[in-house]
């Protein structure tokens, strides 16, 4: 029972890390390797808002997410759009965007190092225990899990129940056909990329309430997000959430029952098994 709850909470955290990348990679087709840096930047912003202006991180999201939306929109328009325009096919865009965001990753990391230094940061927010079924859990983690559920549900409703959401899904299936039915593909892509960035930032703000972070740890988050996105099926919100939960449960079970040193091994074993059985990811479509 303990394992189930801890695992679900951890899964919620992972979902927060990965949802943004699902959109960025699935719709805008940009494999954003700077995803983790984006997240850590949001951690710093939340930290700064909380310590300097004593703004509650959950409310801080209202500032951080729009700012991240704007920043990612600009990144897409000025840095990614030229790559999209010159790419002859999806494969080329993938390679180009990986290289470009790899560079972006170092830039963001360098700027954060310059501004914040290499030290660890953390602060106390809602780090009080809640009792669930006889064991204590951090309130901030439960809040993050709740937020993950809200964000995932909101994203699902937006993508599957609204007109613009349907348009975005159309772009993710086939950009060329989408433009035939009067969907402004570049705009939809930019929107998806920016929304993905905003989601990642919101996740970062929530994560900062219970993670100890420093300027150079973005890559850990990027790796986790990549695994979840690919495991869940590129561009599929349901898949990403399910994969995140699976990963959280598997890691917690292995850490509690076998050895904490094997969590990484468990992650990759699960990854390989899923890829062997369903190479397109849990909810992925066969690529044409």
Partner 1 sequence: MERRTLIKTFAASLLAGAVLAGPALAEGTITIGASAPKTGPLAGGSAVTYWPAIQLWVHDVNERGGIDVGGEKMKVELIEYDDRTSNEEAIKNIQRLATVDKVDFIIPPYGTGINLATAPLIAKYGYPHIAVTAVTDGVDEFAARWPNSFWTLGTSEGMATSLVDVMKKMKDAGQINEKVAVVNVADAFGIELANAGKPAFEEAGFDIVYETSYPLQQQDFAPIISSAMNAGPDSFVAFSYPADTFGLTKQAAIAEMPVKVFYTGVATAFPAFAGANGAAANGVMGVGGVNASTEAYQDFAKRQEEVTGVAPDFWASPVQYASLEALEQAITAAGSIDKAAVIEALKSGTFDTIMGEWKFDNNVIRSFWTVGQWQDGAFQGIASKGAGGEAEPIVKSGWK
> Which CB sits closer to partner 1, 51 or 174?
51
Q: Are 22 and 237 in contact (CB under 8 A)?
A: yes
Residues 74-113 that bind partner 1 (CB under 8 A): 109, 113
- Find the binding residues for partner 1 in span 124-163 (CB under 8 A): 124, 127-129, 135-138
Selection from 8, 92, 36 nearest residue 221 by Cα: 36
Q: Report, in Å, the least distance between residue 266 CB and partner 1.
A: 11
Regarding 48 and contact with partner 1 (CB under 8 A), the answer is no
Question: What is the C-alpha separation between 50 and 127, in angstroms, rounded?
Answer: 14
Residues 234-273 that bind partner 1 (CB under 8 A): 251-252, 255-256, 259-261, 263-264
Instruction: From 34-42, 123-131, 149-157, 161-169, give the range in contact with partner 1 by CB under 8 A.
Output: 123-131
Q: Does 50 bind partner 1 (CB under 8 A)?
A: no
CB of 104 to partner 1, least distance (A): 16
Residue of 43, 103, 42 whose CA lies nearest to 68: 42
Q: Exactly one of 85, 88, 89, 118 binds partner 1 (CB under 8 A); which one?
A: 118
Give the distance, in angstroms, between the CA of residue 52 and the centroid of all CA atoms in the same chain. Answer: 26
> Is 122 one of the binding residues for partner 1 (CB under 8 A)?
yes
Whichever of 4 and 70 has its CB closer to partner 1, that residue is 4
Provide the sign of the torsion angle of the four alpha carbons 203, 15, 37, 266, taken in this order.
positive
C-beta neighbour count of 175 within 10 angstroms = 19
- Pick 10 or 225: Cβ nearer partner 1: 10
Closest contact distance (angstroms) between CB of 109 and partner 1 is: 7
Minimum Å gap between C-beta 1 and partner 1 is 11
49/178 with CB nearer partner 1: 49
Stretch that binds partner 1, among 29-37, 120-128, 164-172, 225-233 (CB under 8 A): 120-128
The region of 52-60, 119-127, 186-194, 266-274 touching partner 1 under the rule CB under 8 A is: 119-127
Q: Which of 54, 119, 176, 287 binds partner 1 (CB under 8 A)?
A: 119
Residues near partner 1 (CB under 8 A) are 2-3, 6, 9-10, 109, 113, 117-120, 122-124, 127-129, 135-138, 210-212, 214-217, 220, 251-252, 255-256, 259-261, 263-264
């Amino acid at each position: 029972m303990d394992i189930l709850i801890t695992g679900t909470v951890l899964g919620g955290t992972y979902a927060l890390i990965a949802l943004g990348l699902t959109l960025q990679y699935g719709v805008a087709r940009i494999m954003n390797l700077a995803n983790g840096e984006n997240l850590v930047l949001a951690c710093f912003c939340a930290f700064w808002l909380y310590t300097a202006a004593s703004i509650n991180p959950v409310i801080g999201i209202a500032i951080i997410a729009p700012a991240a939306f704007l920043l990612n929109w600009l990144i897409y328009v000025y840095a990614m759009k030229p790559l999209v325009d010159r790419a002859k096919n999806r494969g080329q865009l993938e390679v180009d965007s990986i290289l470009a965001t790899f560079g972006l990753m170092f830039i963001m990391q360098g700027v954060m190092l310059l501004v914040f230094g290499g030290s660890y940061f953390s602060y106390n927010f809602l780090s009080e225990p809640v009792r669930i079924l006889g064991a204590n859990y951090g309130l901030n983690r439960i809040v993050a899990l709740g937020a993950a559920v809200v964000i995932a549900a909101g994203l699902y409703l937006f993508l599957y129940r609204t007109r613009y959401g349907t348009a975005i899904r159309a772009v993710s299936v086939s950009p060329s056909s989408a433009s035939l039915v009067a969907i402004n593909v570049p705009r939809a892509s930019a929107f998806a990329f920016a929304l993905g960035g905003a989601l990642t930032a919101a996740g970062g703000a929530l994560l900062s309430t219970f993670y100890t972070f420093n300027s150079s740890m973005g890559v850990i988050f990027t790796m986790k997000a990549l695994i979840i996105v690919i495991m869940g099926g590129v561009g599929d919100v349901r898949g990403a959430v399910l994969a995140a939960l699976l990963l959280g449960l598997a890691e917690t079970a292995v850490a509690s029952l076998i050895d904490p040193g094997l969590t990484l091994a468990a992650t990759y074993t699960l990854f390989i098994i899923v890829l062997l059985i369903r190479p397109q990811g849990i909810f992925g479509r066969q690529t044409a």
